[in-house]
Structure 1
Amino acid sequence: MLDVVGDLIPFAVGVALSPLPLIAVLLVLGSSSPRAASAFFMVGRYVTVAAVALLAAFAAELLPEQGDTPFVGAVLRIVLGAVLIGWAVHKTVHWAGGRDREPELPGWMASIQGTTPPGAARLAIILSAVNVKEVAFGVGAGLTIAAGRPGPGAAVVVALCYAVLACVGVIAVAVCYLVAADRVGPALERVRDWLVANNKIIIAGVLLVIGAILMGEGLRAL
């Protein structure tokens, strides 16, 4: 089971380094109930990330048996890696064209600071379930879990471990604020401002690195 968890690390890192959920949970800290709202956001995020991977794993189990499963998995990694690298190039070009403009929060992000704890949970679910990049990573993680052929119980455990790694940034922010809000509050505000200013190039860098890793793994497995 540990070898399957190890294979999930590239997917988990790709999700963990996505700046939008981190920006969102940092904005949630500006709500009227920051501790409760950040905790609700953390739980919503964790459950959704785990569920996406688990559903993909169970769906893969329902597919007809393939004659050469390792080959199919290798091709899928190469294709996903190529898509991510192409996406990274697109993001970089878009960032370079607008880097002279002052970064602004989208309207939906600016409204997060007025959210309630249930609203924070809903936001976490939406950000985790409709973000194409994160869903792609989640599906890749699910296919990797299925390729390891664990039983249903082991698959759940592996998916939960994957979600811990994938949500480590959000978990760290929420837990730090819960236990030491006065000390970490100013630092978290600075982190939020930096992420807002640099989120496009961060996303591009993450996509490029993870895409290259996936392509390399796929090529080695052929």
Structure 2
Amino acid sequence: MGFRGALGDLLPPAVGVALSPVPIIAVVVMLMAPAARTAPVFALGWLFGLLAATAIIVIVADPAGADTDSGTTWTAVVKISLGVLFLLMAAKQWRSRPRDGAEPQMPGWMAAVDRMAPAKAFGLGALLSGLNPKNLALAVAAALAIAQAGLTTGGGIAAVLIFVILGSLTVAGPVLAALLFRDRVRPSLLAAKDWLIANNATVMFVVLLILGTVMLGKGIARL
């Protein structure tokens, strides 16, 4: 498949990781705190967690023959399973969406995220990126794409880094923008946070529905 083919297959899971409303909301809340010291640490934790999860899965998947003809069937089964999983998660998001007039529910830890110690912020970022079920499944999809491409060691490392960078743009991007243009981007970040809080379930439903359809189609095509 080659490096270009791998990059094409990496884009959907990378976008799926990037479109994670709760971490984006969390990092914006951290940035709006007077000191805003925890936001960069949270972003670093996010990068570390996603990198570690993807690298481990690539190491496991590569020796398993994902880039050979014999690996076609099992990789197809994994992709179909991931597609079904995403569709089930989409259905759950749709059922749990706030009804008309109801206030969207955020995780309990969000209330104290702007006062979180740096070490906890790093751990939270790593947990949300590397151990979140959606992101973990997407890391599996990315790792399979990299393993199937039959890349060199250097090419594999580059592909993993590209996936991690793309998947981290919506978390690390606001931090970088706030550090460079704090007063200018503040209104936009606040507006984005409010919109994501109000539309979290809908955004996740659409993202998971698209990912499920794409993964299911790719899996069926490989059978």
Q: 2:110 matched to which residue of 1?
A: 109
Letter in 2 for 1:163: V
Counterpart of 1:51 in structure 2 is 52
Q: What is the CA-CA distance between 1:138 and the residue it aligns to?
A: 0.8
How far apart, CA to CA, are the structure 2 residues paired with 1:26 and 1:118?
Answer: 18
- In structure 2, the residue matched to 1:61 is 62
Q: Letter of the aligned partner of 2:22 in structure 1?
A: L
Following superposition, the deviation at residue 8 of structure 1 comes to 1.0
Counterpart in the other structure of 2:170: 169
**Does the 8 Å CA contact 1:15/1:137 hold for their aligned counterparts?**
yes
Root-mean-square deviation (CA, aligned residues, Å) is: 1.9
Counterpart of 2:8 in structure 1 is 6
2:131 aligns with 130
> Are the counterparts in 1 of residues 12 and 211 from structure 2 also a CA contact under 8 Å?
yes
The answer to whether the Cα contact below 8 Å between 1:33 and 1:116 also exists between their aligned partners in 2 is: no
Identity %: 32
Q: Give, in whole Å, the separation in 2 of the partners of 1:112 and 1:4.
A: 36
Which residue in the other structure is 1:182 paired with?
A: 183
Maintained 8 Å contact 2:14/2:167? yes
Deviation per CA, 1:1-58, whole angstroms, max 9, x where unpaired? 2221211111111111111111111111133421x42222222211221221111010
Per-residue deviation, 1:106: 3.0
The amino acid that maps onto 1:44 is G
Q: Which moved more, 1:79-88 or 1:115-124?
A: 115-124
Q: Is the 8 A contact 1:28 1:120 kept in 2?
A: no
Q: Deviations over 1:68-112 (max 9, x none)?
A: 21222222212211111121112102216x443122433201110
The residue number in structure 2 matching 1:209 is: 210
Within 5 Å, give how 1:80-91 maps onto structure 2: 80-91=82-93
Q: Secondary structure at the match of 2:32?
A: coil
Corresponding residue for residue 17 of structure 2: 15
Gaps of 5+ in 1: none
Q: Which one is further off, 37-46 or 156-165?
A: 37-46
CA deviation profile, 1:166-215 (whole Å, cap 9, x unmatched):
11111221111010000111221111111111111111110001111111
Structure 2 length-normalised TM: 0.90
The corresponding residue for 1:197 is 198
Give the structure 2 partner of residue 221 of structure 1: 222
* Letter of the 1:204 counterpart: F
Tell me the CA shift for residue 164 of structure 1.
Answer: 1.0
Moved more, 50-59 or 100-109: 100-109
Q: CA deviation at 1:155?
A: 1.6
Determine helix, strand or coil for the equivalent of 1:95. coil
Q: Does the aligned pair in 1 maintain the 2:75–2:219 contact within 8 Å?
A: yes
Distance 1:136 1:81 in 2: 10
What is the correspondence of 1:129-168 to structure 2 with a 5 Å cutoff?
Answer: 129-168=130-169
Measure the CA separation in 1 of the matches of 2:215 and 2:105.
33
Question: Normalising by the residue count of structure 1, what TM-score does the alignment of the two structures yield?
Answer: 0.91
CA distance in 2, matches of 1:73, 1:43: 31
